[in-house]
Amino acid sequence: MTQQDYSTNRHLTIDWAMFHRDIQLLAANLGGKGPFKGIIAIARGGLVPAGILSRILDLRLVDTLCISSYDDRVQRPGEPELLKGIEGDGEGWLVIDDLVDSGKTLQMVRDMLPQAHFATVYAKPKGIHLVDTTAINIDQHLWLVFPWDQDI
């Protein structure tokens, strides 16, 4: 499996089948980059990918790092707000989020956990430099509608 690029659109609705295919690609791209002692999900976007990856990679130790940077579906200006942190420097951990957009959240997490391995399912150009492993590159102006957000 290789990394893919999607064409530029204003919105992309991701269904469960597409998401599972993309997370399988991420898992394949993570091959040989461990071993990882566990996963740190960046809540809330990283919760679903972390759950699926924990099964694929057979990692039972899953923790959360809780950061707020969006109000509903709009990214707030300024710095993200840390709601729950993680102790240590991240060594041996896989940090997962659904998407890196502007990179503000991931930069904050990288500063906290500099030894962790950072992975996202989707990556936009402004934040991709903060990611160690990704599955899908997308256009900066593309808005993703995830399956867990479609009924809201």
Catalytic positions are: 97-98, 101
* Cα distance between residue 67 and residue 109, in whole Å: 9
* Residues with Cβ within 8 Å of residue 23, at least 6 apart in sequence: 49, 52, 53, 56, 121, 135
Q: Which residue has the tokens 């809540």?
A: 43
